[in-house]
Amino acid sequence: MTSLAPWRQVLARSLHRNRALIYARYFQLATVRADGRPANRTVVFRGFLPESNQIAMITDRRSQKIEQIERNAKAEICWYFPKTREQFRLAGTLYIVDAGHLNESWQRAYHETWQKLSEAARAQFYGIAPSQPLAELIETEPKADSDAIPESFRLLVFEPKELDYLDLKTHPHDHHYHWLDESGEWQAEALTP
Ligand SMILES: Cc1cc2nc3c(=O)[nH]c(=O)nc-3n(C[C@H](O)[C@H](O)[C@H](O)COP(=O)(O)O)c2cc1C
């Protein structure tokens, strides 16, 4: 198992200092389309998986990002913390986790993440598929009357391999660091702003 990355503390501090801002828990997630163009969208940070550097998100199986990730699992997160004026850019790999995933701890995280969701967040996984032309409404996910997890629900696990950190608050002495995972060992390098 990879050890906890040194940048985890920096990110934990930023999350703590920005905790009053609900939108500081949103970041942009970029994937790659079939034709090589980037695709970018905002998603909610759902925490780190236990004892790891892996970042959890949730999404709908029927959304376009799923097809993109299935073709090319490389992704990048761009996360800006407004209060502390810090940017984290994390490059890595995305994994799609469903109820039958072979990795048991991810399967557990899949269930636990669903259990923690609000009713409003859960409701998005029932009903019509997202981003379909209104004229051609097709797939619907029936509303279950139990606690059963709808088939459309997916956990996304992001495994970072590289992180670029820029702190503008300390201007003119901006902090700029780059961390790279070299076979499980995180190497840090200080950069010019
Ligand atoms: C504030 C905010 C939070 C969002 N959170 C999520 C999220 O956690 N998961 C998600 O799949 N989409 C989320 N979305 C919607 C996505 O930005 C996007 O529109 C949707 O996932 C479809 O993207 P795709 O067609 O590229 O798959 C959020 C949008 C906003 C504005």
Q: Where are the domains of the chain?
A: 7-129+137-190
User: Could you tell me the pTM of the whole model?
Assistant: 0.93
Atom of ligand 1 nearest to the CA of 130: 22
Distance 60 CA to ligand 1 centre (A): 9
Q: What is the DSSP string of the chain?
A: -PPPPTHHHHHHHHHHHTTT-GGGGEEEEEEE-TTS-EEEEEEE---BPTTSSPEEEEEETTSHHHHHHHH--EEEEEEEETTTTEEEEEEEEEEEE-TT-S-HHHHHHHHHHHHHS-HHHHHTTSEEPTT--GGG---EEPPPSSSPPPTTEEEEEEEEEEEEEEE-TTTTS-EEEEEEEETTEEEEEE---
Task: Look at ligand 1, atom 13, and give the residue with the nearest C-alpha.
Answer: 43
Q: Ligand 1 within 6 A of 146 CB? A: no
As its CATH architecture, domain 7-129+137-190 has Roll (2.30)
Q: Ligand 1 within 6 A of 149 CB? A: no
Distance 26 CA to ligand 1 centre (A): 10
Q: Ligand 1 within 6 A of 130 CB? A: yes
**What does each of the 193 residues of the chain score in pLDDT, given as a tens digit?**
567 999 999 999 999 999 999 999 999 999 999 999 999 999 999 999 999 999 999 999 999 999 999 999 999 999 999 999 999 999 999 999 999 999 999 999 999 999 999 999 998 898 777 887 777 666 666 665 556 899 999 999 999 999 999 998 877 667 899 999 998 899 999 998 8
Distance 172 CA to ligand 1 centre (A): 35
